[in-house]
Structure 1
Amino acid sequence: MSGASGDGWVDGPDGSRYWGRYGAAGLLALSPDGEVLLQHRAEWSHFGGTWGLPGGARHEHETAVDAALREANEEAGVPGGSIAFRFSEVLDLGYWSYTTVVADALERFEPVLADRESIELRWIPIDEVAGYPLHPRFAEAWPGLRSRL
């Protein structure tokens, strides 16, 4: 893809910082067995040590779905051809946005620690997700997402 990458921080009016000049997106993949693929975030990362979705910064002119699939492949080895889109949900702060892309894994695959952004990748039963120390924004979004699954 041509154009600038989405790398870089966006500073909010309240001093908060968000990664991705063009916003960010993550993939909430559901296995046929009713599990969600979660990423245990590296300690050095933003909200390190918490569990969240594989994802990251969008590139300029990249759709949220394309960004979520690209990032999930880069971070967790999610095979693009094995994902069927369900819906997406957008957190829009006006100056930055994050899109959660929800999709079915057509078959349960073994995630791969593909970069240093993850401590661990794990399929977690839907009913157990809330029991993990979740990334704060994912924790806020999870009840609404869960109700749509």
Structure 2
Amino acid sequence: MRGDGDGWVFGADGARYWGRFGAAGLLLCAPADSGVVVLLQHRAVWSHQGGTWGLPGGARDSHESVEQAAVREAHEEAGIAESDVAVIESIVTHSAPEWSYTTVIAKADSPVATVGNGESAELRWVPAESVAELPLHPGLAKAWPGLLARLT
């Protein structure tokens, strides 16, 4: 379903951002034998920054909080049920005068099953300490050290 937030925002410097009202992504973590694992999405090649690993997420609609948007997007892109998610905190991890991206940190009791849509080449539960080894979406790569510190 297409929401009213879908669309590009263009910055004064020529940068473009997806989400007319900003965007949000869900950093879903769960306990595992190896420690904490996080759900990552290998972005479809056709998408913005395609081929990189990021968080399930996307444009926030005008009527949504960032938490609602992140959970909705995780459901759409990864099949994550709202009932499997406990939101912990929300952090603005990118801000421009015209736009912002919020990372919503949430926990699941265990690594839940996923079902990707056309925006996902792959979904994978990754040990938190191994995330930086993947070719990350530039925004996630920049934010990851601060996010990792909140998970451990």
What TM-score comes out, normalization by structure 1 length? 0.94
Match of 2:138 in 1: 136
| Cα-Cα RMSD | 0.9
Match of 1:98 in 2: 101
The answer to whether residue 17 in structure 2 is matched with residue 7 in structure 1 is no
What does 1:110-121 align with in structure 2 at a 5 Å threshold? 110-113=113-116, 115-121=117-123
- Secondary structure class of the residue paired with 2:31: coil
Give the deviation of 1:85 after TM superposition: 1.2
Gaps of at least 5 residues in structure 1 are none
State the distance in 2 between where 1:72 and 1:87 align: 16
State the distance in 1 between where 2:124 and 2:56 align: 11
State the distance in 2 between where 1:108 and 1:44 align: 27
Match of 1:49 in 2: 51
The residue type paired with residue 100 of structure 2 is S
Runs of 4+ in structure 1 off by over 3 angstroms are none
Match of 1:18 in 2: 17
Identity of aligned residues (%): 59
Picking from 76, 85, 88, the partner of 1:83 is 85
What TM-score comes out, normalization by structure 2 length? 0.93
Picking from 101, 108, 113, the partner of 2:111 is 108
State the distance in 2 between where 1:79 and 1:41 align: 20
